Structure 1
């Protein structure tokens, strides 16, 4: 019977570690996280447009529009967080 030498053992250890890391990457998880990034980016772009329009208006309307922009950002962030949590759950992450 052949002995398992240190170099062979090291190769087996590296191969095992590589396989365990590859198992962590899930395409569905990646797609859901990408969707979350899209949602957040879209909400930020919409909020930025509202902020820019608010700068042109001024007065009480400006404040109301800025509040609306803040609400759009918060909603987008909440939706993105929910998607990321769903992705983690699908991938089996705590």
Structure 2
């Protein structure tokens, strides 16, 4: 399965979800969470932050998101978390490991 960066019109494609997350973190601007003000990497990590730190209602109010937009983002999160080794992502982002 190929993993495409969904940020704006980027379209970069990767063989693993880990590579896509590292790309999003390193190659795209960070965003300020409209709910709490925390600055987070765009893409998957922003979605993960939004739905692990805040309620759906807080997200909808802050972003003006529709129910479908919330479901779409939750599906992205779930697909990545079903496939990705998030510990490996953290290690790579911390410089402890390198892609093979």
Provide the TM-score with structure 1 as the length reference: 0.29
In terms of fraction of residues, the more helix-rich structure is 1
Provide the TM-score with structure 2 as the length reference: 0.27
In terms of fraction of residues, the more strand-rich structure is 2
Which one has more relative contact order, counting CA pairs under 8 Å at least 6 apart? 1
